[in-house]
Amino acid sequence: MPAAAAGILREQPHVGRTLISAESPWPPWMLVQAHGLGKTYPKVRALDGVGFEIHEGEVFGLFGPNGAGKTTCLRVLSGLTRPDAGRAEVCGHDVAQFPNDLRRHLGILFDLPFPYVDMTVARYLTFFANMAGVPRAEVRGKAAWALAQLGMTHHAGSRIGKLSMGERQRVEIARVLLSPARLLLLDEPFSNVDVDARLHLRSILRDWVSRGGGILFTSHNLLESEAIVDRYAFIHLGRIVAVGTAKELKENLLAPVYALEVSDANMALAALEPIPHQALETTAPNLVRLGLLRRQDAPRVAKALVSADVDLLEMKSVGTMEDVYRKLTRPPGPGGAA
Amino acid sequence: MEPRERFRLILAIVEKDLRMPLWTWVLAGSVAGLGFLLSLPGAAAMASYLRYYPYEFVWFDATLRGYYGIAAFLSSVVMGITFATVHGGEVRKGTIRSVILYPIDMTDLTIAKLLATFVIAFLVATPLFMGFFGAYFVYGLYPAGAFLAIHLMAFAMAAVALATGVGASLLIANVTGRLAPSPSSMGALFLIAALLLTETAVSTIGTYLAILMSAGRFPSPETFEAIEDFARTISVVSPHHMGARVLGIGFGLTSLWSDVHVVVPVALLVIAIAYVVGKRLYLDLFIK
C-alpha cells in the first residue's frame, strides 16, 4: 500500500524519514508486516494468503463477515496460533520464532473476555499489570490511572461478577491500557458499551495512537468505525479483498453518487443534465441526487451550477463504509456486482 | 525471555492462585483440629497405660507401610484436587484465556500452576496428616520428626507423580495438537497410578483377584509367591514405592537400594522433555 503508507508518513511528522532506509528490514515505525499468512482448520481455510502492514500512529481496521478469519488473524498475530503458511513480524518479532515473547509488546482484547468474576476490579487490574511487566512500584498507580481513564474508579472495590456487561468491557479495556504495549489488538472493543462511554473510549484510543502506538481494530459496526479507523482491510473467506483509507475505498469501489444542496433544485437539474449521469433527481426541495457515470466528471458539477447561477451550498459523496462492505462481501452472481 | 522476567510472570500467577477462598483454609484447619480432638482420648488412654507398662516406639516394615500409605493417600488426594482447581478450573471457566494474552509460554504457565498447587496442597495436607496424630505427639507416644519425614517424603513423591503426569500431557499435546487428555486428568491418573503400583497395593489387589479367580478355594502358596514377585517388579515404577523404600533405609528397616534408581530418572526425563516441548506449544491449545 505505498500510497497509504505515504499518507501515514505525511500525517506523522514525528516519524522521521531518515529512520526509514531501503536496507532496513524492519523500519522502526512498522508494527505489523504480514505476508501470505495461511491457516487451515480441519474443515475451514481460515486464512488464505493474508498480508498487510500496520504502522505506528494508525488505527487499522480489519472488517469482514462472521467467520471471515478476523479472530484467527488476530490470534496468529498475537502468537497464540501457528500459521500454516506465510510470515508475519509484529513489533520486530517473527510470530513463528517468538510466539510468546512478542506479546510483551501487545495489549490484547478478544471479543469474548473471560474475567475472574470473583476478583475485585482493583485486584484484577493489579494482577494483569504484574503479568504485563509493569514495575511493582508502579502497579497501583497504573491501575488507578486506567480505572480513572475508563471512569471506573468508584468500582475499584467491586467484584467483577457484580458488574454489568458494559462495565466489564470497560474493565477489560482498562486491563489492555495497563500494558506497556506498542500495539493494541482489539476485537470488538465497544461491544456492550453505552454511547457516552464509546465516545470517551474513542478519544482514549485516539490519544493512544497519537503517542505513537498502533491499534488493530475489528468490529461489525462500520459506521462507528469511520470515527476512529485510519485504514481499513476487508477480509472475506480468509482473504484480504481490499485495503485502504475510507476515501480510497469509497472512490475505488463505490459508484460516484453525490448529494447536492442547491438554491434551486429545478434549475440545478437543467444545468446538470448535459453531464453524463446514471441518475439525476430531486430528493427534497433543495436537494439533488446525482449519480455520475465517471468520477472524473465530478469537477464539472460545480462549474455547471455556477454557470447556471445556482448556488451550491453543499456537495457530499453518498456512500458509507457499509456500502463498501456490501460491495466487497456480496457473493458474485446475477444480483451481485462484486 | 530473560529468566527474571519469566520468574516475575510465574510469581504473579502463583500469588493469584494462592488467594484461595477463606473457607478452604477454614475447612482444612477444622478437619485437622477435629482429627486432633478425635485422636486425643485414644492417645491419653495409651499414655496412661504406658505409664505402667513402658514402651519405646519402634518402626516395623508394616507400620511404616501403613503410615506412609495414609500420608501418600492424603497428599495425592489434596494435590490432585488442588491442581484440578487451579489449572483445570481455569481451563473450564475460560479464565486461562485471559492469562495467555500475556507473554507466558506453556512451560512457565505449567510451572506456575504446579508451584501454586504444591504450596496450597502442602499448607492443607500437612496440618491434616500431623493433626490426626497430633495427640500422640503431644503425649510423646509417636516420634513427630519421623512422621513429618514420612509426610514430606509422601508429599514429594506425589509431587513427582503429578509433575510427570502433567509433563506427559504436554508430550501428548505436542504430538496430537490437542490438550487431551488434559494436564489435570493426566496428573490425577499418575497420582492414582503411583498409589496403586506400590508393592503393598499391587500385592493386595493381586490377592483379591487370586481369591476371586480361585472360585472359593484358597490360592496356593505358589500363587502368593507369584503375586509378590510381580508386585516387587512392577512397584519400581511407583514414586511412592521409592519414597517408602528410602524411608525404610533411613529407619534401618532395609538396605535395598536396587529399585531406587528407576522411577526418578524416568520422571526427570519426562519432565525435562516436557519442559523443552512446552516452550514450543502454541497456547491456542486452551481454546481448541
CA nearest neighbour of A19 among A5, A6, A29, A33: A29
Pairing type for strands A287-292 and A277-284 reads antiparallel
**SS3 label, residue A29:** coil
Number of H helices, E strands in chain A: 11, 14
Which chain B residues contact residue A130 at CB under 8 A? 8, 11-12, 15
Q: Which of A91, A114, A171, A178 to mutate to test the interface with B (most CBs of B within 10 A)?
A: A114
A81/B284 Cβ within 8 A: yes
Look up the pTM and report it: 0.86
Which stretches of chain A sit within 8 Å of chain B by CB? Answer: 75, 78-82, 99-104, 106, 108, 110, 113-116, 118, 127-128, 130-133
Residue where the block lists cell 487499522: A60
* Closest approach of B105 to chain A, Cα-based (Å): 6
| Residue among B9, B94, B102 minimizing CB distance to A114 | B94
Which phi and psi angles does A49 have, rounded to 5°?
70, 40
Instruction: Note the pLDDT of residue A69.
Output: 92
**Residues of chain B contacting residue A80, judged by C-beta atoms under 8 Å apart:** 100, 282-284, 287
User: Per residue in A73-129, pLDDT tens?
Assistant: 999 999 999 999 999 999 999 999 989 999 999 999 998 889 999 999 999 999 999
Are the CB atoms for A40 and A284 separated by under 8 Å? Answer: no
Q: Which residues share a beta bridge with A89?
A: A33, A94
The pLDDT of residue B76 is above 80:
yes
Which residues of chain A are within 8 Å of residue B12 when distances are taken between CB atoms? 127, 130-131
What is the residue-averaged pLDDT of chain B? 92
**Mean pLDDT along residues A331-337:** 52
Q: What is the CA radius of gyration of chain B?
A: 22
Tell whether B105 is within 8 A of chain A (Cβ). yes
pLDDT tens sequence across B208-254: 999 888 877 788 889 999 999 999 889 989 999 999 989 998 988 87
User: Which chain A residues are Cβ-neighbours of B284 within 8 angstroms?
Assistant: 75, 80-82
Burial of B255 (0-12, 13-18, 19+ CB in 10 A): exposed
Q: Are A290 and A280 in contact (CB under 8 A)?
A: yes
Burial label, B283 (beta-carbon count in 10 A; 0-12, 13-18, 19+): buried
The answer to whether the CB atoms of A114 and B98 lie below 8 A apart is yes
Q: What is the pLDDT of residues B153-209, one digit of tens each?
A: 999 999 999 999 999 999 999 999 999 899 999 999 999 999 999 999 999 999 999
Q: Which of A247, A233, A248, A228 is nearest to A328 (CA)?
A: A233
Residue B261 pLDDT level (bands cut at 50, 70, 90): confident
**DSSP calls for B130-182:** HHHTHHHHHTT-S-HHHHHHHHHHHHHHHHHHHHHHHHHHHHHHHHHSS--S-
Which residues in chain B have their CB less than 8 angstroms from residue A160's CB?
none
Q: What is the mean pLDDT of residues A265-293?
A: 90
- Residue B77 forms contact with A (CB below 8 Å): no
Distance, in angstroms, between A176 CA and closest chain B CA?
10
| Nearest chain B Cα distance for residue A130, angstroms | 6
Q: What is the mean pLDDT of residues A166-194?
A: 91
Give, in order, the Cα–Cα distances in Å from A150 to each of A67, A174, B16, B196: 31, 7, 24, 55
Which of B7, B97, B101, B104 to mutate: most A Cβ within 10 Å? Answer: B101
**Residue B53: pLDDT over 90:** no
Query: Which residue bears the cell 494462592?
Result: B18
Inspect the interface and report whether the beta carbons of A131 and B9 lie closer than 8 Å. Answer: yes
Dist CA A271 CA A310 (whole Å)? 9
CA-to-CA distance for B82 and B188, rounded, in angstroms?
11
Q: Which residues of A touch B8 (CB under 8 A)?
A: 130, 133
What 3-state class would DSSP assign to B238?
A: coil
What is the rounded distance in angstroms from the CA atom of residue B233 to the CA atom of residue B240? 14
Distance, C-alpha A230 to centroid of its chain? 6
Q: Where are the beta strands (DSSP E) in chain A?
A: 30-41, 44-55, 59-63, 85-90, 93-94, 106-109, 183-187, 214-218, 231-236, 239-244, 257-262, 277-284, 287-292, 312-318
- In this prediction, residue A245 carries a pLDDT of 93
| B7 has a chain A CB within 8 A of its CB | no
Q: For residue range B137-148, what is the model confidence (pLDDT) as tens digits? A: 999 899 999 999
Q: Which of A328, A314, A315 is nearest to A254 (CA)?
A: A328
Asked if pLDDT for residue A5 goes beyond 60, the answer is no
CA A309, CA A302: separation in Å to the nearest integer?
11
List Cβ neighbours of A269 (8 Å cut-off, separation of 6 or more): A280, A281, A282, A288
Rounded Cα distance between B282 and A37, Å, is 16
Q: Report the distance separating Cα B240 and Cα B198, nearest Å.
A: 6
Around Cβ B121, how many Cβ atoms within 10 Å? Answer: 25
With a CB cutoff of 8 Å and minimum separation 6, the contacts of B284 are A75, A80, A81, A82
Rounded to a whole number of angstroms, the distance from the CA of A152 to the nearest CA of chain B is 20
Q: How far is A10 from chain B (nearest CA, A)?
A: 33
B9 touches chain A (CB under 8 A): yes
Phi, psi of B255, rounded to the nearest 5 degrees = -130, 20
Give residue A2's pLDDT. Answer: 37
Query: In the prediction, which pLDDT does A13 show?
Result: 34
Give dist(CA B35, CA A310) in Å, integer: 98
Q: Which of B8, B16, B93 sits opposite A114 (nearest CB)?
A: B93
Taking alpha carbons only, the member of B283, B241, B37 closest to residue A100 is B283
Query: Taking every pair of C-alpha atoms in chain A, what is the biggest distance, in angstroms?
Result: 73
- The interface predicted TM-score (ipTM) is 0.88
